[in-house]
Amino acid sequence: MDATAAAPLPGQDAAHPDGQYGSAAKWFHWITVGLMAIALPTGFVIKFITGEAEGAYKMAFYAIHEGAGLTILFAALARILWKWRNPPPPHPSDLPPLMRTAATATHHGLYALLIAQPILGFLATNAWGFPMQGKTAYLGFIQLPKFMEASTGLATVLSWGHTIGGYLFVLLLVAHIGAAIFHHAIRKDGTLMRML
């Protein structure tokens, strides 16, 4: 056996010449995608629920949005811990430096928002005087303690940060999804298949 031969990449096979993510990493990724598909739309829609519908539906939207957001935080922390113990396959060796940098920056930005956004939202709801209790209890039945007294000034700042983070999330997701499509349809380099 040739001692100089390169060690195989994690998950490397005929269908994945550049390696692939492990099963747990894939589960973390796609569970997060599902939770984001709940958290983002409900978050953007809440402010438009007014009038007679406000009392009947707004708290339900908050409960869904906040529950998905807090679960995203827990999943992101578990995912980062898993990634630390189980490094993903490296970028393909033929990936241009600019694409490598853009991919790394986008991933870091998404991870940062997966943690910062739920924390900002959670603190904002507490600052508005609506801790996750009663109709907005976590997952509908877990009553979380109140962490602070209501403060309109602090709540406004936290809410603005949470709103800006939401728009940044959309921009990074568009870049991430667009890059995956570009790699699959244009470069045809198997990058997308590493997560499938």
pLDDT at 55 over 80: no
pLDDT tens per residue, range 146-168: 888 999 999 999 999 999 999 99
Distance CA 76, CA 166 (A): 16
Are 186 and 192 a contacting pair, CB within 8 Å?
no
pLDDT of residue 2: 43
Helices 23-45 and 152-182 pack at an angle, to 10 degrees, of 130
Domains detected in the chain: 23-195 (1.20.950.20)
**Number of other CB atoms surrounding residue 137 within 10 Å:** 16
Contacts of 25 (CB under 8 A, 6+ apart): 79, 82, 83, 86, 88, 195
pTM flag (> 0.75): yes
What are the tokens at 76?
Answer: 């992101």
Q: Token match 């679960």: residue?
A: 71
Give tens-digit pLDDT for 8-28: 556 555 556 567 888 899 999
